[in-house]
Amino acid sequence: MKKLLLLVVLFISLIPRGYALDSALEKAKLAIQAYFDAILTHESTLSPNIAMSMAVEAVEEKDRQALQDHYDQISLSAARQAIDAYAKVLSEGKDASAEADTMHQIEDALSPENRQEAEFYYKQKSINAAGSK
């Protein structure tokens, strides 16, 4: 299903500018979500990244800030999910290398401000985990 969504987003993003511009922002939002979903589910990010880049390019200048705000919200949410998954696997005493890779991949996609917020969230999770032992 996700692959179908990615293909639809990619196809839609190839529609020439000026056609259905009112939904370009929504298409870009879907592409951003698909990109972070791929990271969180340990899937290849090549197609979602291309689709996201193309969809973002189709967004009108007047909608850029709204798109950036959406990107920041989704990326920070994904960072929190990745940190939670990492902490859960560690608490179970299992190998958390895949979850650590996911955290680092999302960290690379964060804005500097969101990176600081994610680091604070990670530290809080660490303190809470240490306090519960």
pLDDT in tens, 88-111: 999 999 999 999 999 999 999 999
Q: What distances in angstroms separate CA 121 from CA 25, 81, 111, 127, one per listed residue?
A: 29, 11, 15, 10
pLDDT interval class at 6 (50, 70, 90): low
Work out the mean pLDDT of the chain and round it to a whole number.
Answer: 87
In the predicted structure, residue 54 carries a pLDDT above the cut 90: yes
Residues 114 and 51: their CA atoms lie apart, in Å, by 23
